[in-house]
Amino acid sequence: MPAYVVEARQVSKNFGGVPALAGADFSCPPGSIVGLLGENGSGKTTLSRILTGYYRPSSGTVRYRGEVVSFRTPAEAARLGIGMVHQNFSLVPDMSVKENIWLGCEPLGRAGFVNDRRIGRELRTYLDRLCPWIRPEAKVSSLSPSELQLVEIVKALSRDPIFLILDEPTSALERQQVDAVFTLLRDLRRSGRSMVFISHRLHEVEQICDSIVVLRNGKTAGTVDLSGGGPVDYDRIVNLITGNREIAKEVRRFAEEERAPLLEVQGLGDGLRLFDVSLRVREGEIVGIAGLQGQGQEELLMALAGFRRTVAGRVALKGQALALHSPRRAIEAGMVVVPGNRQTEGLFMDRPVFYNATFPALVHRRGPFPSSRFERETSSRLIADFAIKASSLGTPVTALSGGNAQKLVVSKWLPLGPKVLLMSDPAKGIDVQAKAELYRIVLELAEKGTGILLFASDLHELITHCDRILVLYEGRVVDEVPGGAVDEEGLLSRCLRREPSA
């Protein structure tokens, strides 16, 4: 009997020259639950995709039950009993829960029919334990996000996996549902199965995991054994995650004098993910929004941008009340948004650089349509100022690297001279160089008086660049920290709603 169900040694994975994993080690003994932690971009998702057969490693070995394996498709891994609870749901909207759970591997009866009755029986076990109120006949499109997540979990468990990876399985769940899931996972552990629990929620990880593996920058930063009982050393864990970096030299010093208020938000709520949010952004101020994943940060920015319906609250820009009906109103008032997903919301992917760079400027300017010269000048200036690597204006945006494309998403607004810039995790997933250049421009904008409301999943970014940081938890502002007065561990602790250590 091998010591480990899964063992990954020195696994690396490159995507077009950018290393997502750089020699990571990971092992999981049978009958145990291992937590996998790390910041965004640390390689957690890449590692789990390699273990489940979606990706092939660029180097390193993966052993499954003692044998070296190299999966060509996820189906191969699935056949060996490896399962995964996905973050991006793999459910078909128009089909029922019952049909979805067995999609792709339906049990067959005599004469090759799909054996609906058997599906019904086997299904009930997990469904009853996790979400008994969900009817198996219910259409997936009618489920709430938390119900979707539970169904994903039921789906993965129904395949009877030997090794199961759960990627953020509780991000949409409420407390009782999480407890139900954990009870199930403990039962599985008792029967000898192994699980990997990927999460940002330290308190949950502490509850369920036997040990923790921390990834940082694509490598294994360390492991922590939780099975011995006794108090958990949070500081050590947070330390491993953040790496105790030196705070960059460029910490913003906010001028002490009172600046004019630019954006005032009172009691904003949408009844679903945001509740009673009030905040203020002054001229030239960079206000950060921190929090664990899915606490309402993105929803807040989208609501302010006019993209998301709100049910309560008042917003004023430079003293003028602003109705958040549509993005057009917000833009005309001077509040623009850099959305979280540049490919689906930030750019016109198949269009050229000049098209994207000049679109807001051309659409919102008054007067006759500007000449071709204006288009070339504006585009060329943005490309030069932002150091966007594009040799000609007609290059389609799909040809740009992530960092350059993201610079375009931000810079396209500048010719309009916006008053407030809402930024939803602008530096996510782009390389260090581009990140620095991006924030340089942000800081310049702030110097010129633009107000910036910035959400970043990387707490380090917030600490380095923001004058003030608000902490969101379950859709409410629960804390506020002045810039420069907190370090990463302290901020993380506040996000986790734990008392920071002295």
Partner 1 sequence: MSALQTRYKALSQSSLFVPVALAALLVVANIVLQPSFLRPHVIRSNLLTFSPLILVAMGQAVILIGGNLDLSMGFGISLLNCFIAMNMSVVPGAMGHNAAILGAGLAIALGMGAANGILVGMLRVPSFMATFATSFIWLGVAIMIAPIPGGAVPRWFAQFFKASFGPANVMLLVVVLSSLAWYLVRRYRLGRYIYAIGSSWDASYANGIPVNRITIGSYAVGWCFVYLGTLALTAQTRAGDSAIGEPFALNSIAAAVIGGVSLSGGSGSPVGAIFGAITLSIVMNIIYFSGLPTSYQVLVRGLIIIAALGSTIVVRSAEARRP
Partner 2 sequence: MTPAAPLLPYRRHLSEYWRDFNKEIVSFSITILLVVVGGLISQGYSDIGYMILRIKVAAFVGIIGLIQATVILSGGGGIDVSVGTMASLGALFGAAIMQGRDEMLLPALLAIAAVGFVLGLVNGLMITRLRIHPLIQTLAMSYVITGIIVAYSQGRKLLGRPSPLLERLVNDRLGPLFIIILVWVALVVGMEFLLRRSRVLRKVTAVGTNERTALLCGVEASSVRTAVYAWSGMCASLFGALALGSVHTVYLDVGNQYLFPSVVACTIGGISLAGGSGSYVGVLGGALVYTFLQSFLVTLNIDEAWRKVLFGLILVAVLVAYSRSRTAK
Residues 56 and 12: their CA atoms lie apart, in Å, by 10
Q: Does 259 bind partner 2 (CB under 8 A)?
A: no
Q: Does 91 bind partner 1 (CB under 8 A)?
A: yes
Residue 51 or 338 with smaller CB distance to partner 2: 338
Options 56, 348, 485, 501; binder of partner 2; rule CB under 8 A: 348
114 makes contact, choosing from partner 1, partner 2, none, with CB < 5 to 8 Å by partner type, with: partner 1
Residues 6 and 484: their CA atoms lie apart, in Å, by 43
Using the contact rule CB under 8 A, the part of the chain among 6-14, 169-177, 200-208, 352-360 near partner 2 is 352-360
Whether the CB-CB separation of 414 and 442 falls below 8 Å is answered with no
Residue 381 or 476 with smaller CB distance to partner 2: 381
CB of 272 to partner 2, least distance (A): 19
Using the contact rule CB under 8 A, the part of the chain among 154-162, 197-205, 226-234, 340-348 near partner 2 is 340-348
Residues 403 and 412: their CA atoms lie apart, in Å, by 14
Q: Does 95 bind partner 1 (CB under 8 A)?
A: yes
In the range 392-451, which residues lie near partner 2 by CB under 8 A?
392-396, 398
Whether the CB-CB separation of 434 and 406 falls below 8 Å is answered with yes
Total residues interacting with partner 2, rule: CB under 8 A? 45
347 makes contact, choosing from partner 1, partner 2, none, with CB < 5 to 8 Å by partner type, with: partner 2
Residue 126 or 355 with smaller CB distance to partner 1: 126
Q: What track of x and - describes contact with partner 2 for positions 184 through 223 (by CB under 8 A)?
A: ----------------------------------------
Q: Does 344 bind partner 2 (CB under 8 A)?
A: yes
Residue listed under structure tokens 């602003």:
322
Residue listed under structure tokens 């947070």:
238
Helix H or strand E segment including 316: strand 312-317
Whether the CB-CB separation of 242 and 39 falls below 8 Å is answered with yes
Options 376, 448, 497, 498; binder of partner 2; rule CB under 8 A: 376
In the range 310-329, which residues lie near partner 2 by CB under 8 A?
326-328
Burial per residue of 21-38, b for 16 or more beta-carbon CB atoms within 10 angstroms, e otherwise: bbebebbbebebbbbbbb
Residues 327 and 337: their CA atoms lie apart, in Å, by 9
Q: Does 122 bind partner 1 (CB under 8 A)?
A: no
Q: Which residues contact 392 (CB under 8 A, 6 or more apart)?
A: 353
In the range 139-168, which residues lie near partner 1 by CB under 8 A?
141
Q: Does 99 bind partner 1 (CB under 8 A)?
A: yes
Total residue length of the chain: 502
Put the strands of the sheet holding 320-321 in their side by side order: 277-282, 261-269, 312-317, 320-321
Closest listed residue to residue 468, CA positions, set 236, 237, 200, 281:
281
In the 8-state DSSP scheme, what is residue 383? H
Helix (H, G, I), strand (E, B) or coil at 471: strand
Total residues interacting with partner 1, rule: CB under 8 A? 22
Residue 55 or 455 with smaller CB distance to partner 1: 55
Q: Where are the beta strands (DSSP E) in 29-169?
A: 33-37, 59-64, 67-68, 82-85, 163-167
Residues 62 and 52: their CA atoms lie apart, in Å, by 11
75 makes contact, choosing from partner 1, partner 2, none, with CB < 5 to 8 Å by partner type, with: partner 1
CB of 401 to partner 2, least distance (A): 16
Q: What track of x and - describes contact with partner 1 for positions 60 through 89 (by CB under 8 A)?
A: -------------xxx--x----------x
Using the contact rule CB under 8 A, the part of the chain among 111-119, 179-187, 220-228, 308-316 near partner 1 is 111-119
Angle CA 472–476–477, to nearest 5: 55
Q: Does 15 bind partner 2 (CB under 8 A)?
A: no
Using the contact rule CB under 8 A, the part of the chain among 6-14, 137-145, 240-248, 359-367 near partner 2 is 359-367
Residues 44 and 28: their CA atoms lie apart, in Å, by 15
Options 360, 429, 449, 490; binder of partner 2; rule CB under 8 A: 360
Alpha helices in 73-193 (DSSP H): 74-79, 97-101, 116-130, 145-158, 175-190
Residue 293 class from Cβ within 10 Å (0-12 exposed, 13-18 middle, 19+ buried)?
middle
349 makes contact, choosing from partner 1, partner 2, none, with CB < 5 to 8 Å by partner type, with: partner 2
442 makes contact, choosing from partner 1, partner 2, none, with CB < 5 to 8 Å by partner type, with: none
Residues 502 and 308: their CA atoms lie apart, in Å, by 40
Helix (H, G, I), strand (E, B) or coil at 418: coil
380 makes contact, choosing from partner 1, partner 2, none, with CB < 5 to 8 Å by partner type, with: partner 2
Sign of CA dihedral 477, 478, 483, 486: negative
Q: Does 113 bind partner 1 (CB under 8 A)?
A: yes
Residue 75 or 399 with smaller CB distance to partner 1: 75
Q: Does 362 bind partner 2 (CB under 8 A)?
A: yes
In the 8-state DSSP scheme, what is residue 183? H
128 makes contact, choosing from partner 1, partner 2, none, with CB < 5 to 8 Å by partner type, with: none
Residue listed under structure tokens 């009930």:
124
Q: Where are the beta strands (DSSP E) in 79-185?
A: 82-85, 163-167
Residues 373 and 375: their CA atoms lie apart, in Å, by 5
Residue ranges in contact with partner 1 by CB under 8 A: 73-75, 78, 89-95, 99, 103-106, 108, 112-114, 116, 141
Task: List residues near partner 2 by CB under 8 A.
Answer: 305, 307, 326-328, 330-332, 337, 339, 344-352, 354-355, 359-360, 362-364, 369, 371-372, 376-377, 379-381, 383-385, 390-396, 398
